[in-house]
Chain A
Amino acid sequence: MAEFFNLKRGLNIDISFRCPLECYACDRQRGYRNKGFSVPGQDMTIEQFEKIIHCFHKISFAGNLSDPTGNKKLIDFLKICYEHKKSTHIMTAATHRPFDWYIKAFEANPKARWTFGIDGLPEESCLYRINQDGEKLFNIMKTCRKMGLQTKWQYIIFKYNEDHIEQAKQLAKDIDVVFELVYSGRFSSVTDPYRPTKNEITTRLY
């Protein structure tokens, strides 16, 4: 058994417990805050990160209950990954950091892949990603690509954005980023207010 797991060398890491967003289907809300609990955890330290990183070839900063930008050391972690030649992927949707901070993050690891969660056209993404500035994130995504990093736009399909997919796809093409549609497995029921309604979409949902 241990031998088997030792072969697996990719890690999806939650380096923080912080996130300014209040996305409806995130377990941060459903599992903790909606039930009156605070979200537990701590910001990962450099020492902890260095203990972990040598065991893995691929590091994803995706966040389970947080956004990776919640940890102010993210830029340091990205530098460490670059120095150690680790395949690095960041998935983010929060927008509380200033624009310059992202530039430093992109420069810290020019080989990192970035995925930006913008669910709908930039101005409407905040309907699900509560507290997100979608237009700011769109510009950050655009800059990421301009700086030569691998860049993806992740678009979760909801009722409010199901008619805007083609428009978003064109926007993605215009700024030369990969466009990925997500048919979410998180809708609580067929009456979920965010659940898409179009037949060609709902037939692909869990």
Chain B
Amino acid sequence: MKLRPDCTKLDKKFGWSAQGYLLPCCWCDLKSTFDNKQGALSELVKEHLHIDKVQSIDEVLDTPEWKNFYKVITNDKITNETPEVCIRHCGQGMRSIRVKEND
């Protein structure tokens, strides 16, 4: 199985956790992310990446943690760093389907 990560598509929005962290998307806002159980994703919620510890979002994106996350999710192979939530949604395709009926 290979990931087809939605977060590498321009129309997929970043997520933001009420705990104060930028996330690749809203699906990543899980207890397990903050419990250090989501591999490279859990690295993105380290204390120094908190909104109150940075000057700007660009500063967050330019960190080794975000660079490594991108490397992990665009890797051809699933590794122990690949977040389980990314495998579930962007590997196995577990997602909702939305259909507009009268637009």
* Residues of A in contact with B (beta carbons under 8 Å apart): 1-2, 4-8, 10-17, 27, 31-32, 37, 40-44, 48, 51-52, 55-56, 58, 60, 62, 64-66, 154, 156, 169, 172-173, 178-186, 204, 206
| A-B Cβ contacts below 8 A, count | 132
| Chain B 55-83 near chain A by CB (<8 Å), digits 1 or 0 | 11110011000110011000000000000
Q: Are A8 and B12 in contact (CB under 8 A)?
A: yes
Q: How far is the CA of A16 from the CA of B20 in the complex (A)?
A: 10
Q: Which of A5, A40, A180 contacts B18 (CB 8 A)?
A: A40
The residue on B at minimum CB distance from A37 is B31
Chain B nearest Cβ from A153, distance in angstroms: 9
| Chain B 24-35 near chain A by CB (<8 Å), digits 1 or 0 | 011001111010
Q: How far is the CA of A206 from the CA of B94 in the complex (A)?
A: 6
Q: Which of A4, A42, A51, A206 contacts B95 (CB 8 A)?
A: A206
Given contacts A14-B17, A172-B102, A183-B97, 20 further A-B contacts (CB under 8 A): A1-B67, A2-B62, A2-B67, A5-B61, A11-B15, A11-B16, A14-B16, A14-B18, A17-B18, A40-B34, A42-B18, A51-B51, A55-B56, A55-B58, A172-B101, A180-B99, A180-B100, A182-B99, A183-B98, A185-B94
Q: Are B100 and A48 in contact (CB under 8 A)?
A: no
**Contact A185 B96, CB 8 Å, known A55-B56, A60-B13, A179-B102:** yes
Q: Are A11 and B96 in contact (CB under 8 A)?
A: no
Q: Are B96 and A2 in contact (CB under 8 A)?
A: no
Q: Are B99 and A183 in contact (CB under 8 A)?
A: yes
A62 partner residues in chain B, CB cutoff 8 A: 26
Q: How far is the CA of A186 from the CA of B55 in the complex (A)?
A: 36
Q: Which of B1-41 contact A (CB under 8 A)?
A: 7-8, 10-20, 25-26, 29-32, 34
Chain B nearest Cβ from A186, distance in angstroms: 7
Q: Are B70 and A44 in contact (CB under 8 A)?
A: no
The residue on A at minimum CB distance from B13 is A10
Q: Are B99 and A64 in contact (CB under 8 A)?
A: no
Q: Are B96 and A31 in contact (CB under 8 A)?
A: no
Q: How far is the CA of A193 from the CA of B20 in the complex (A)?
A: 35
B7 partner residues in chain A, CB cutoff 8 A: 8
The residue on A at minimum CB distance from B93 is A206
Closest 9 CB pairs of A and B: A41-B18, A10-B13, A64-B29, A1-B70, A13-B16, A55-B57, A183-B97, A17-B18, A185-B96
B66 partner residues in chain A, CB cutoff 8 A: 1-2, 5
B25 partner residues in chain A, CB cutoff 8 A: 12
Q: Which of B31, B70, B100, B103 contacts A31 (CB 8 A)?
A: B31
